[in-house]
Structure 1
Amino acid sequence: MTDSRPTHVPSVTFNDGTEMPQLGLGTYKLRGEECVRVVREAIQLGYRHIDTATVYGNEEEVGHAIADAIAAGDVTREELFITTKVWNDCHGAEKASASFQDSLRRLGLEYIDLFLVHWPCPQQNLYVETFEAIAKIQGLGSVQSIGVANFYEEVLRELVEKTGITPVLNQVELHPGFTQAALRQVHEELGIITEAWSPLSRGIALQNPIIEGIAAELGATPAQVTIKALLQLGCSVIPKTANSDRLKENLNALNFGLSQEQLNSILSLDDQPGFGRIFKSPWEFPGA
């Protein structure tokens, strides 16, 4: 199970009709030649969805790997789905527009598939203006779809109400023990795809007895079981790794399924002590 290459990466469909591969590669903390190598290897293995951001400081390297892969004939630009994001210091109409153009230049692309507002930054209260700005860019044809990351229910609803535009996706911290059931329900109501960052919870989920037990039953790894659980919830999942073997391992989570009982056991971790949000709260980050 863990060694056979998957023949098909399923897609999710946005509320604007665009399709995106459900499983992708996160690139947070990947830098320099390591980033180029990992993205290049991922594309060779069959990854088509690559996630980066201005604040990651690796858009040039991601773009370099993409250019190399296209030049080698491994993939066409149209087969790839590239996401990047505007950072907190570029909220506001003019700064957000300039940030987009900078990302486009660094990536060396003619268009970006998905552009996100990286955090709501409620202290600045510019998330509506920022989203409106990227919606105008979308109208010019250099970005296919627009969305958000780390938005919570109140700001999501405000965004939709004030702009009349529903983000296609909200990328949030989501992993076993913190599967964000209430927010996922809001997303379903509004027609927003949920995307999970840090799906392996810095390895915490991989050492859980429930997940280890299911992995043993299936002849899979705990990481594969974790990724598969989130995929079966309908989430897009973007695990990050610099390890070649784990790139293959994560992709091969597509090669099996979990029973409803197994999935329910993993979801039950949300109710157990010691689990929950690991990273910054979007209500508070980045602070005043």
Structure 2
Amino acid sequence: MKSPRRWTCCFWAFDAKKCLSAFPLTPLNASGIDEAAFVRLVERLVAAGVDSIGALGSTGNYAYLSVAERARVAQLAVQHAGDTPVMVGIGAVRTRDVLTLAEEAQQAGASAVMLAPVSYQRLSPEEVYGLFEDVTRALSVPLCVYDNPGTTHFTFSDELHGEIAHLPNVASIKIPGVPNDPAEAKARVARLRALIPSDVTIGVSGDAFAALGLNAGCEVWYSAIGGTFPKTMLVITRAAQAGDAEEATRLVERLRPLWQLFSETGGSLRVTAAAAELQGLVESPCLPRPLKAVDGEARQRLAALIDELALA
């Protein structure tokens, strides 16, 4: 197994400094994974200076790929990330496959892995704890707990997060968006922080909540749109890193038309895919069927927003 790169930020709390972890698409074409396009996306993130790369998250279409395809994506991400740490998603319906994916990610040299409790049958809290217990026992790299009830249909309690966070190698928790009120957001993060070890970071996802989460005490922004527009999202992250909460909030609010488009079209993936297609970063179509990037009037609005907001 290759020696994983040291995770210099985003995971261990004593290193964390408000980091951006950018999640690129895994583009597909008629032949399968569009390896050339994926490599371009990864190298673009490296050039922009993101703090880490999250391969095979929801934006990376992990649930639609075979174990072999995911192993290949992990290899490509690590090979082309240079010194930028790579976290690889390993979620799957069956623990056997999760363990295989974890081993493949470690063999590829991933710096960390990310695990969501994927299911067909609804999982109980005891089953989810058992999943993380089985997987962490087999790991030699840090693990990020992927809390995404919108896709997994499992809702973590803070108490369950606290129990899982004490397992070996658990290093970060990726939570959904925080409350819109800054005081309530800070209280929400504080409640979770009180239950987890000090060396486990809390990361916010849901791009519209980036400033709220970072200003409320989250150490990481796990960003879907950051995989396509890294420079814009880095400016927001660096403002929060500098302690300029007002500026970070202003920059996120400036992008509200984009967040609204996410909401209207069922989430960030279809918009992100269309944005990558519009910029010529990937072929069109780039998503695994039956998924489709936004089209029609929504795609026209997106094209206008990319220009108006200077996203590219």
| Both structures adopt the same fold (TM-score exceeding 0.5) | yes
Matches within 5 A, 1:1-80: 11-12=9-10, 14=12, 22-28=19-25, 30-31=27-28, 32=34, 33-53=36-56, 54-55=62-63, 57=65, 59=70, 60-61=72-73, 63-69=75-81, 75-76=82-83, 80=84
Aligned to 1:133: 134
Q: Secondary structure at the match of 1:168?
A: strand
Q: Classify 1:233/1:119 alpha carbon distance in 2 versus 1 (closer, same or farther; 3 Å).
A: same
Q: Classify 1:194/1:243 alpha carbon distance in 2 versus 1 (closer, same or farther; 3 Å).
A: closer
Aligned to 1:187: 192
Q: Classify 1:234/1:120 alpha carbon distance in 2 versus 1 (closer, same or farther; 3 Å).
A: farther
Aligned to 1:237: 221
Aligned to 2:122: 123
Q: What is the aligned counterpart of 1:172 among 175, 178, 201?
A: 175
- Deviation at 1:55? 2.5
Q: Classify 1:34/1:49 alpha carbon distance in 2 versus 1 (closer, same or farther; 3 Å).
A: same
Q: Secondary structure at the match of 2:223?
A: coil
- Deviation at 1:98? 1.9
- Letter matched to residue 23 of structure 2: G
Matches within 5 A, 1:142-153: 143-150=141-148, 152-153=155-156
The whole-number CA distance in structure 1 between the counterparts of 2:100 and 2:248 is: 49
Q: Classify 1:157/1:229 alpha carbon distance in 2 versus 1 (closer, same or farther; 3 Å).
A: closer
Mean CA deviation greater in 39-48 or 112-121 = 112-121
Aligned to 1:100: 102
The whole-number CA distance in structure 1 between the counterparts of 2:165 and 2:232 is: 41
Q: Secondary structure at the match of 2:194?
A: helix
The whole-number CA distance in structure 2 between the counterparts of 1:227 and 1:23 is: 10
Q: Does 1:258 align with 2:245?
A: yes
Aligned to 1:4: none
Q: Classify 1:144/1:20 alpha carbon distance in 2 versus 1 (closer, same or farther; 3 Å).
A: farther
The whole-number CA distance in structure 2 between the counterparts of 1:65 and 1:243 is: 13
Using structure 1 for the length normalisation, give the TM-score.
0.57
Q: Summarize deviations over 1:148-177 as a string: whole Å, max 9, x none.
A: 4337453x5246548952843221331674
The whole-number CA distance in structure 2 between the counterparts of 1:230 and 1:137 is: 31
Q: Classify 1:35/1:196 alpha carbon distance in 2 versus 1 (closer, same or farther; 3 Å).
A: farther
Q: Secondary structure at the match of 1:238?
A: strand
RMSD between aligned residues: 4.2
Aligned to 1:221: none
- Deviation at 1:50? 0.8
* Aligned 8 A contact 1:171 1:194 in 2: yes
The whole-number CA distance in structure 1 between the counterparts of 2:44 and 2:247 is: 33
The whole-number CA distance in structure 2 between the counterparts of 1:81 and 1:55 is: 22
* Aligned 8 A contact 2:39 2:80 in 1: no
Q: Classify 1:100/1:43 alpha carbon distance in 2 versus 1 (closer, same or farther; 3 Å).
A: same
